[in-house]
Amino acid sequence: TQLLEQSPQFLSIQEGENLTVYCNSSSVFSSLQWYRQEPGEGPVLLVTVVTGGEVKKLKRLTFQFGDARKDSSLHITAAQPGDTGLYLCAGATTGNQFYFGTGTSLTVIP
Amino acid sequence: NAGVTQTPKFQVLKTGQSMTLQCAQDMNHNSMYWYRQDPGMGLRLIYYSASEGTTDKGEVPNGYNVSRLNKREFSLRLESAAPSQTSVYFCASSEPPLSYYNEQFFGPGTRLTVL
């Protein structure tokens, strides 16, 4: 069962452009995490959001948790080639398991 | 600190063969996890161990067994490999036990192909 759908699946943009990645579900999560994964490596945590409506900023990255705690978004301002990678959202349920999204593969072209 | 280490990095098996994937962490974490990653599917939890001496099934446990050997080590065994088990396998650890404030630290992965 895939609880979290991410869109778009693939994204290729020019350096300096802005982008938004979406993570959607019909399920309610107690928290939601965003990870970035580079080729040949494991995912690395970027942020955890826990409150409905919460917004967190990490330099040029802005993360938002939906009011109903069913969805989240990641916005990148002025993308750089170093932002290239696979972005994964992961939702935690009351059963204490994390369910990962399908992933968004981002390529930033210099 | 090495963090989370996994061996081997690559493996090719024939259908029906068995193998064990090894994972070790040096962060003194209580909880450890095994995931598999397939294209377009994200990561799916196979088994996890909330603490030494306990293991629980995740989302896709069929065809796998695990052993929490001690606090540092958590192994994943394929008794009779099938082509459907071709995937990239990731081990992760976290502390305290899995909770929504928790950060999971991932190993570099094992790339398994079953012919």
d(CA A12, CA B57): 37
Q: Per-residue pLDDT averaged across B74-78, rounded?
A: 97
A53: left (phi over 0), alpha (psi -120 to 50) or beta: left
Cα torsion B32, B38, B40, B45 to 10°: value is: -30
AA identity, residue B95? E
Q: Which residues of A touch B107 (CB under 8 A)?
A: 42
Interface of B with A (CB under 8 A): 4, 35, 40-45, 48, 58-59, 90, 92, 97-101, 103-104, 106-109
Q: Which residues of A touch B45 (CB under 8 A)?
A: 97-99
- Which segments of chain A have a pLDDT < 50? none
pLDDT in tens, B13-46: 999 999 999 999 999 988 899 999 998 778 999 9
Q: Per the structure block, which two tokens stand in for B78?
A: 């394929």
d(CA B24, CA B75): 8
Is B84 in a helix, a strand, or coil?
Answer: helix
Q: What angle do CA B90, A99, B31 make, to 5 degrees?
A: 55
What pLDDT, on the 0 to 100 scale, is given for residue A2? Answer: 54
What pLDDT, on the 0 to 100 scale, is given for residue B31? Answer: 86
Nearest CA in chain B to A87: B42
Q: Which residues of B touch A100 (CB under 8 A)?
A: 35, 42-44
Looking at the complex, report in whole angstroms how far the Cα of residue A24 sits from the nearest Cα belonging to chain B: 14
pLDDT in tens, A64-89: 999 999 999 999 999 999 999 999 99
What pLDDT, on the 0 to 100 scale, is given for residue B95? Answer: 74
